[in-house]
Chains A and B, each alone.
Chain A
Amino acid sequence: MTTAMNQLTLYFQFPFVRYAMIVGVLIALCSSLLGVTLVLKRFSFIGDGLSHVAFGAIAIATALNLTNSFLLVLPVTIISAILLLRTGQNTKIKGDAAIAMISVGALAIGYLIMNLFAGSSNLAGDVCATLFGSTSILTLTMTEVWLCVILSALVIAVFVLFYHKIFSVTFDEDFATATGTNAKTYNLILAVIIAVIIVLAINLVGTLLIAALVVFPAMSAMRVFKSFKSVTICSVGVSVVCAALGILISILAGTPVGSTIVAADIAGFIIFSAFGFIMRR
């Protein structure tokens, strides 16, 4: 135990480890905040679909040799999020089919573009890094950390300010609209926030594993807690603890960061499920 502590103290003297911890915890916090709403709105897979769109955008940015891929990836993801959330209402293509089409399409086109245009000699490695996150969390620059801190602060502020409206729109969109809350606006706000979180989270867990950050903490919290407020708070707590644990374990054991965090989330879900089962007896 002491050796592990010493090792951690040693590692935390490196700024990139501290950056990884800060960014990891912030992303976990934001994704779980929105996770509850997404799960309840039956939109769990939107996170997954959007992350694939982001993968496609990253591929294009790489092919174009953009120095800051963020400038392309964020707007593209936001627009896709708006389009996807819109498909829930009165369209010929149903929501789940639309998500499947967009996500697989973006994945294929992204890989194709990477193959055709990228000059990198280690293509498989690049693709794997984008899909599973691998090392990008450990190579964050100061600017990226600040960007992440500012965007996270914005996400949290919007969520807290519109908390009750988000609740009302999630619980009963018709009632909210009928009594004068513009549900469409709030769906739009949700779409934008989700897109921002997805783009941030690509650094942490890669594009394939983002849905886990959104879904697992919310599902864990819903096993045990029964009001919207307590579920949201618990979900944030679970997510932050799992992300911190995952990062620490991955540092000590040398495992990939993204999948270790998701493994911690899965463990959390199992523990909460067992707890919920015992409580109900």
Chain B
Amino acid sequence: MPQLSCQDLCLGYEGKAVVSDLTFGVCVGDYLCIVGENGSGKSTLMKTILKLMAPISGQVLTGDGLAANEIGYLPQQTAVQKDFPASVREVVRAGCLNRRGMRPFYNKSEKRIADDNMKKLGIDSIAKRCYRELSGGQQQRALLARALCATRKILLLDEPAAGLDPKASAEMYDLIMALNSGGTTIIMISHDIAASVKYASHILHIGSQSALFFGTKADYLGSEIGRIYAGLGGEGI
């Protein structure tokens, strides 16, 4: 049974469909990359999976022991965050909020979870530093640690390497790969077709109006669209 599946999804704003007939599923341990051009509906799909917006029709189902609020999310940076006074520790701990229910403060085990995740991502030494003064790679790690506090089961990543230099983005991809090897399901939106093909186990390619391809990486590379798209190696896309 898939951990997360989308059935006949039709997505868009104010009744106008951006993409329709999306059907796919991810199982535990999968690494799915969602690729496609700008405006093809990748971010809309991600928002729908996270229940930030409702689909026009169709549904998003969770299964295999996954609750709807157990999805970790690594968003793209917002303008608000660029000058937000917050320490790394405060940001990471915010990921524990959904464990807490109505209790107003974090307990010891939640604080430990936050500390463990910071250690895991190598940012425990900068826990007291101000988020806005960190490098792009460090900021992404802090947000990733926060997502891990929310869940270990499934992570949704929106362009995790956007704005990072080549070294930092390679490190980011390695980190994500390591998490995936540890059993965390990964769903990632990416412009970086080279990295998608390198790391993913499955590819969902969305074109204008509908899904152009969904399947394993090997099938994608064998398909016509995969050959055209991946053959370009990310240049000019």
Q: Does A180 count as interface, using CB distance less than 8 angstroms? A: yes
Determine whether the beta carbon of B50 is less than 8 Å from that of A177: yes
Secondary structure type dominating chain A contacts: helix
Q: Does B69 count as interface, using CB distance less than 8 angstroms? A: yes
Q: In chain B between 98 and 146, which residues have their CB closer than 8 angstroms to a CB of chain A?
A: 98, 100, 104-106, 128-130, 132-133, 146
A179 with B98: in contact, given A163-B104, A164-B104, A228-B90 (CB under 8 Å)? yes
B: interface residue count bin: 35 or more
For B95, list chain A residues within 8 Å (CB). Answer: 179
Q: Does A229 count as interface, using CB distance less than 8 angstroms? A: yes
Secondary structure type dominating chain B contacts: mixed
CB of B44, distance to nearest CB on chain A (Å):
13
A: interface residue count bin: 20 to 34
Q: How far is the CA of A176 from the CA of B47 in the complex (A)?
A: 13
The 8 A CB mask of A19-47 against B (1 = contact, 0 = none) is 00000000000000000000011100000
- Residue ID in chain B nearest A165 by CB atoms: B97
For B100, list chain A residues within 8 Å (CB). Answer: 164
Determine whether the beta carbon of A179 is less than 8 Å from that of B69: yes
Q: How far is the CA of A38 from the CA of B150 in the complex (A)?
A: 26
Q: Does A175 count as interface, using CB distance less than 8 angstroms? A: yes
- Residue ID in chain B nearest A231 by CB atoms: B85
Q: Does A117 count as interface, using CB distance less than 8 angstroms? A: no
Q: How far is the CA of A170 from the CA of B78 in the complex (A)?
A: 11
Determine whether the beta carbon of B97 is less than 8 Å from that of A171: no
Q: How far is the CA of A230 from the CA of B100 in the complex (A)?
A: 23
Q: How far is the CA of A229 from the CA of B87 in the complex (A)?
A: 9
Q: Does B228 count as interface, using CB distance less than 8 angstroms? A: no
Q: How far is the CA of A181 from the CA of B51 in the complex (A)?
A: 12
Determine whether the beta carbon of A172 is less than 8 Å from that of B97: no
For B93, list chain A residues within 8 Å (CB). Answer: 164
Q: Does B41 count as interface, using CB distance less than 8 angstroms? A: no
A226 with B87: in contact, given A172-B94, A178-B73, A179-B150 (CB under 8 Å)? yes
For A177, list chain B residues within 8 Å (CB). Answer: 50-52
Q: Does A136 count as interface, using CB distance less than 8 angstroms? A: no
Q: Does A4 count as interface, using CB distance less than 8 angstroms? A: no
Q: Which residues of B contact A (CB under 8 A)?
A: 47, 50-52, 68-69, 71-73, 75, 78, 80-81, 84-87, 90-91, 93-95, 97-98, 100, 104-106, 128-130, 132-133, 146-147, 150-151, 156
